[in-house]
Amino acid sequence: MKDPRVQRFAEILVDYSTRVGKGDVVLINAAGLEATPLVKEIYQLCLERGASYVEYGFSVPEIDRTFYNLANQQQLAHFPQHKLDFYKTLTVYIGIAAGENSMVMANARQEAIVTYQKVTKPLIDQRVKHTRWVVTRYPTHAAAQEARMSLEEYEEYLFSACCIDWEQESRKQEKLKKLMDGTSRVRITAPDTDLSFSIGGMPGVKCDGRFNMPDGEVFTAPVRESVEGHITYNCPSIYQGKEFNAVRFEFSRGRIVAASAAGGMSDALNKILDTDDGARYIGEFALGINPGIRTPMRNILFDEKIFGSIHLTPGQAYDECDNGNRSAVHWDLVKVLTDGGEIWFDDVLIQKNGLFVLDALLELNPA
């Protein structure tokens, strides 16, 4: 029996997020075989909407790990030109993660992962810059376990966060975007956090279900050398198959000059930040505002949208709000501000304890 929530989810991804229509060339790329029910629904809808060509594919993370552990330098350096040639024909890309184990890369060679990320970056650039794309998750037992939920609870959480009226959410987000557009200085205070930086001249960008699902944030970027102070993130983050907790950064003239993490992970943290020069500068600042996401799940696609959170991201800036930072890294690290946090725009308090207090933004608060 079909789950009507999966069908509704597919409709949002095809009709709203990527707007598939006549003549489109679509790639549905699923990491994990458990995503099959959603892939099937999306595939059928794309054909019904008139796409000229629809290709789907499944990757298996355990096989990817084999590559990272065994590939020699020549193999790591080989660029898959045939993939780029195909990507250049795409108009729509839909990516779905349905992994059975988020820690599958924990013992993979990290230097090989970093090397291959750099080699294959043109594929990501082509997809991001030249297609209508969206990436999402499909509920699995592994993801539910990481979120400390049963599968049924996780399914309800995921579908509730994704299957909402995104056109209405977009209208609400417009007020925060306009406020960002007119703001020069930002200050964020919270336990073990006191940061200030400039966003003057940097546009606010709405994330209203077009590229990520679930979505629900408005982002911009700091002026690259303006970040000063310190922050301790309070959400766990899984990156390159390793879990990082209590990540703490100290900034001077925009650069991360000191970095630490709990549980003996400081060396691994600094190794990521030493990937290239841009990895120690911030490429994104965002406020999470999805009303259906309230607690960390150890899944960044959800956690960066937690209502009452921010993420301040080391690494690559987005084209939509380009502060000039370039890096092979883009690592969204999340700070939830519901316990004593404050956000100030140009010395005006806009949010306290994770809720908006500025009259113009009150309708963003969860009902």
Flag the least confident range among 10-24, 148-162, 324-338: 148-162
pLDDT of residue 153: 92
* Confidence (pTM): 0.79
Distances (CA, A) of 179 to 174, 175, 202: 9, 6, 12
Which secondary structure element, helix H or strand E, spans residue 347, and what is its range? none
Distance CA 280, CA 313 (A): 10
How far apart are alpha carbons 171 and 289 in whole angstroms? 13
Separation between Cα atoms, residue 169 and residue 174, nearest integer Å: 9
pLDDT score for 24: 98
Q: What is the pLDDT of residue 147?
A: 84
Q: Is the pLDDT of residue 231 over 90?
A: yes
- Mean pLDDT over 228-239 rounds to 95
Give the whole-angstrom CA distance, residue 2 versus residue 7: 8
Reported confidence tier of residue 346, pLDDT bands at 50, 70, 90: very high
Instruction: List the chain domain ranges.
Output: 4-162, 166-364
Q: What confidence tier does 208 reach under pLDDT thresholds 50, 70, 90?
A: very high
Give the contacts of 278 (CB within 8 A, at least 6 positions apart): 315, 316, 325, 326, 327, 329
The predicted model gives 339-359 an average pLDDT of: 97
Give residue 110's pLDDT: 86
Q: How confident is the model at residue 72 (pLDDT cuts 50, 70, 90)?
A: very high
Quick one: 4-162 is in which CATH superfamily? Answer: Thermophilic metalloprotease (M29) (3.40.1830.10)
pLDDT at 50: 98
From 41-45, 153-157, 269-273, 341-345, the region with the lowest mean pLDDT? 153-157
pLDDT on residue 99: 77
Say how many CA atoms lie within 13 Å of 29 toward its Cβ: 16
Q: Where residue 201 falls among pLDDT bands split at 50, 70, 90?
A: very high
Write down the mean pLDDT value for the chain: 94
Note the pLDDT of residue 146: 82
The whole-number pLDDT of residue 101 equals: 76
Residue 247: name the closest of 224, 270, 225 by CA: 270
How high is the pLDDT of residue 148?
Answer: 86
Report the alpha-carbon distance of residue 90 to residue 53 in Å, rounded: 9
The reply to whether omega before 214 is within 30° of 0 (cis) is: yes
Output the pLDDT for position 108. 87
